[in-house]
Structures are given as C-alpha cells and as structure tokens.
Amino acid sequence: MSAIEPALIEKLKQLPPQRLAEVADFVEFLAAREERSAAAARLTEAVAKLDALNLPPLSEEEIDAEVQAARRERRTHA
C-alpha cells in the first residue's frame, strides 16, 4: 500500500454517501481514461510494426475476401 492510501481511505470515510458516489464515478472515469490511453499506445505500436513490414496495401477484392472468410468462420462457430 502506498503512503497516500491510508490517508485517502480516512478522508473517504468522512464523506457523505452522495460524495462517495461522486468519488466512485470519478475513479471509474480515471480508470477508463487509463485503459483508453493504454489501448491507444498498443494501437500505435501495432501500426508502427505494420508500417515496418512495408507490405503493399490490400486491394478491395482482398479486403472483401477477408471479410467473407471471417463471416464464414463466425457462422461455423456460432
């Protein structure tokens, strides 16, 4: 437990229920923001790796074939 946690817990114990609900909402907001930030970092890393492969772009036909294959796969596992 970090040094701030006991003090924070004591302060939380002094808050009325409505304020605790606000704190809970804010904590959820912060957690979601961290998740989005981490997801964006992973996406940026993945795009950089794809760019490094220097592959030619897919044609419309190749994209359509991939979509159709994924749909067939999903149907067989449903």
pLDDT digits (tens, 9 = 90+) for 14-70: 999 999 999 999 999 999 999 999 999 999 999 999 999 999 999 999 999 999 999
Cα 3 to Cα 14: distance, rounded to the nearest angstrom: 19
- Asked whether 12 and 23 are in contact (CB, 8 A), the reply is yes
pLDDT in the model for residue 2: 86
pLDDT in the model for residue 53: 96
pLDDT in the model for residue 18: 97
Cα 35 to Cα 41: distance, rounded to the nearest angstrom: 10
